[in-house]
Amino acid sequence: MLMIRLQRIGKKGQAYFRIVLNEHTKKTKGGFHELLGTYNPHQKQLQANREQIEYWIGKGAQISPTVNNLMVNYKIWDRPKVQSWKPKQKKGSGEQAAPVAPEVSAERPVAEPALTG
C-alpha cells in the first residue's frame, strides 16, 4: 500500500521535511516514489502539490494523519482533522490496575527446630 507521509531531512536541531509517496513497509529515510512537497517547521512554510496528492489518494494511496493535519492547518484543502497520536491514560482514571499477587517461593518452607528446655 502506498503512503503519503513526511520524510525528515536536515541537520540535527534543524529539521526539514519532505512530503513523499512511499510504500508503507519501507523506512522513511530510504528512497521514495515521488516528491509531493516540503515543510519547514522553523519558518512555518508548507509547499504541497495538491493535484498530485489528490491523484495518488484517488489511486488508493493513504495519507498519514500528520500530513493531513498540516494541509488542513495551512488551508490547502478543506477536510476534517484526524487524531495523529493517542494521549496517555492516567493511572487513576479508567481501568484500575489488577492487584499483584505475592510471589510464591518454589522452595519448601523449613521447619524451625523445637526448643527443649
- Kindly report, residue by residue over 53-111, the tens digit of the pLDDT: 999 999 999 999 999 999 999 988 888 898 888 888 888 765 555 556 566 556 666 66
Q: Are 104 and 43 in contact (CB under 8 A)?
A: no
Does 98 fall in a domain?
no
- The whole model's pTM is what? 0.69
* Assigned domain for 95 exists: no
User: In terms of residue numbers, what domain contains 22?
Assistant: 2-73
Mean pLDDT, the chain, rounded, equals 85
Do 16 and 35 form a contact (C-beta atoms < 8 A)? Answer: no
* CATH number for position 36: 3.30.1320.10
Contact assessment for residue 3 and residue 23, using Cβ atoms and an 8 Å cutoff: yes
Establish if 60 belongs to a structural domain. Answer: yes
Which of 46, 72, 111, 89 has the alpha carbon at shortest distance from 63? Answer: 72
Is position 89 within any domain?
Answer: no
Is residue 94 situated within a structural domain? Answer: no
Q: What would the pLDDT profile of 26-37 be if each residue is shown by its tens digit?
A: 887 888 889 999
**How many domains is the chain built from?**
1
